[in-house]
A and B are shown apart, each in its own frame.
Chain A
Amino acid sequence: MSDHDPHAHGPVTRPGASADETLQHALHEAHGDHHAHGGLGKYVLVFLALCGLTTMSFLTYSPAWPWRDQPQVGWTFMMAVSCTKAMLVILFFMHVWWEANWKYVLTIPAAMMALFLGIMLIPDVGLRNRMVSQERALHMARDSDLKTLQRASAESPFAEAAH
Chain B
Amino acid sequence: MHAHAASISSSDHGHAGHGSHGDHHGHITLQYQPGLPLSRGKLIMWLFLSTEIMFFAALLGSYVVLRFGAAIWPKPHHVHLSEPIGAFNTFVLICSSVTIVLALEAARANKASLAKIWMLLTLLLGSLFLGIKGYEYAAKFSHGIYPAMPHSRIYERPDLYYGSAVRARLDELRKLPVALVPAALRDPADAEAKAGDTVDVLKRLDEVAADRLSAEQQAARGRLQQVQKIVISPEQQAFDMAVVADQVMPLPAEGADHGGGHGAHGLNDAFPWLRLPTVIPGGNMWASTYFLLTGFHAIHVGVGLLVFAIMLTWTLNAKRAGAIENIGLYWHFVDLVWIFLFPLLYLF
Interface residues of A in 61-94 (CB under 8 A from B): 61, 63, 71, 74-75, 78-79, 81-82, 85-86, 89-90, 93-94
Interface residues of B in 306-348 (CB under 8 A from A): 318-319, 321-322, 325, 328-329, 332-333, 335-336, 339-340, 342-343, 347-348
B83 and A158 form a contact (CB under 8 A) = no
Q: How far is the CA of A65 from the CA of B91 in the complex (A)?
A: 22
B57 and A24 form a contact (CB under 8 A) = no
> Per-position contact with A for B75-112: 1 when CB-CB < 8 Å, else 0?
00000000100010011001101100110010011000
B239 and A152 form a contact (CB under 8 A) = yes
A141 and B72 form a contact (CB under 8 A) = yes
B39 and A58 form a contact (CB under 8 A) = no
Considering residues A125, A142, A149, which has the most beta carbons from chain B within 10 angstroms of its beta carbon? A149
Q: How large is the interface on A (under 10, 10 to 19, 20 to 34, 35 or more residues)?
A: 35 or more
Q: How far is the CA of A129 from the CA of B229 in the complex (A)?
A: 39
Interface residues of A in 1-57 (CB under 8 A from B): 1, 6-7, 11-15, 19-24, 27-28, 32, 36, 39-40, 43-44, 46-47, 50-51, 54-55, 57
A141 and B281 form a contact (CB under 8 A) = yes
B219 and A86 form a contact (CB under 8 A) = no
Q: How far is the CA of A153 from the CA of B254 in the complex (A)?
A: 13
Q: How large is the interface on B (under 10, 10 to 19, 20 to 34, 35 or more residues)?
A: 35 or more
B61 and A117 form a contact (CB under 8 A) = yes
Q: How far is the CA of A79 from the CA of B88 in the complex (A)?
A: 19
Question: What distance in Å separates the Cβ of A138 from its nearest Cβ neighbour in chain B?
Answer: 9
Residues of chain A contacted by B49 (CB below 8 angstroms): 110
- Contact among B38, B97, B109 for A89, CB-based, below 8 A: B97
A146 and B37 form a contact (CB under 8 A) = no
Report if A60-B347 is in contact (Cβ < 8 Å); known contacts: A23-B39, A102-B37: yes
Q: How far is the CA of A22 from the CA of B222 in the complex (A)?
A: 77
A117 and B71 form a contact (CB under 8 A) = no
Residues of chain A contacted by B105 (CB below 8 angstroms): 36, 39-40
Task: Return the chain A residue nearest B65 by Cβ.
Answer: A124
Q: How far is the CA of A73 from the CA of B31 in the complex (A)?
A: 56
Q: How far is the CA of A79 from the CA of B95 in the complex (A)?
A: 21
Asked whether B142 is an interface residue with its Cβ less than 8 Å from the other chain, the reply is no
Q: How far is the CA of A85 from the CA of B61 in the complex (A)?
A: 19
Task: Return the chain B residue nearest A26 by Cβ.
Answer: B37
Q: Which of B15-23, B40-48, B122-130, B297-305 makes up part of the contact surface?
A: B40-48
Asked whether B208 is an interface residue with its Cβ less than 8 Å from the other chain, the reply is no
Question: What distance in Å separates the Cβ of B68 from its nearest Cβ neighbour in chain A?
Answer: 5
Task: Return the chain B residue nearest A100 by Cβ.
Answer: B37
Using CB atoms and an 8 Å cutoff, list the residues of chain A in contact with chain B: 1, 6-7, 11-15, 19-24, 27-28, 32, 36, 39-40, 43-44, 46-47, 50-51, 54-55, 57-58, 60-61, 63, 71, 74-75, 78-79, 81-82, 85-86, 89-90, 93-95, 99-100, 102, 105-107, 109-111, 113-114, 117-118, 121, 124-129, 139-143, 145-146, 148-153, 156-158, 161-162
**5 closest residue pairs by CB, A with B:** A128-B69, A141-B281, A110-B50, A152-B242, A114-B57
